[in-house]
Amino acid sequence: MKKLIGAVERLFPMPCPLVVGGTMEQADTLAVAWINVVASTPPTIAMGLRESRHTLELIRTNHSFTVNIPRADMADVVDYCGLATGRKTDKFAATGLTLTPSSLIDTPIIAECPYNIECRVTSETQVGAYVLVLGEIVEVHAEQAILRDPDGDVIDIEALDPLCYIAGSREYRRLGERVATAFEAGKRFMDDTD
């Protein structure tokens, strides 16, 4: 038996990065759960932001943003950045989060987040009270300690321990154990026609 629960805007799990807009001189950050990679050529991130967000103003001024992945133990800091607005308060001063320069764009990254993505805005589309912002990934920073191989680009997900958001029950969680290998586990259903 399945119950119809209506047109709820929920997928499970959701990422919950801190998105930064602005510059080293004037920046703001907010928690964003409606965000993901949507293309790989060119590498593109899309996110849904409510028109009223202060960080969106800064993103529009500088045509860039950074996506900063927090560890699960940063849930309280992320939640604060998703409750307070930069119009009234300096979230970096309030939380102790620190900004460091990006390599290719003017918008900084958050030092305390172990994985950071630099994006240049490529377009935006209105979706009711929201704006869908698309940004091309131009560079990625990964702390040495979260790399599986010091010379590679593959992340040790347990070392990263990324914060996840569960919509509906409004919980922050961490990821569970590995269950299978992607692009491999499904091969047992393939035959000569696939």
DSSP 21: E
Q: Which of 27, 45, 49, 77 binds ligand FMN (CB under 6 A)?
A: 49
State which of residues 27, 33, 99, 146 lies at the interface with ligand FMN (CB under 6 A).
33
- In order of 10, 14, 20, 36, 123, the CA distances from 33 in angstroms are 10, 6, 14, 9, 19
Q: Residue ranges of the alpha helices (H) in the chain?
A: 54-62, 75-81, 91-95, 157-160
Given 13, 17, 27, 53, the residue binding ligand FMN (CB under 6 A): 53
Which of 13, 22, 86, 114 contacts ligand FMN by CB under 6 A? 86
Q: Minimum CB separation from ligand FMN for residue 192, in Å? A: 44
Total binding residues toward ligand FMN, as defined by CB under 6 A: 21
Q: What is the DSSP string of 84-120?
A: S-TTT--HHHHH---EE--SSSSS-EETTSSEEEEEE
Least distance CB 144 / ligand FMN (angstroms): 29
Binding residue (CB under 6 A) for ligand FMN from 16, 74, 75, 142? 16
By the rule CB under 6 A, 31 interacts with ligand FMN: yes
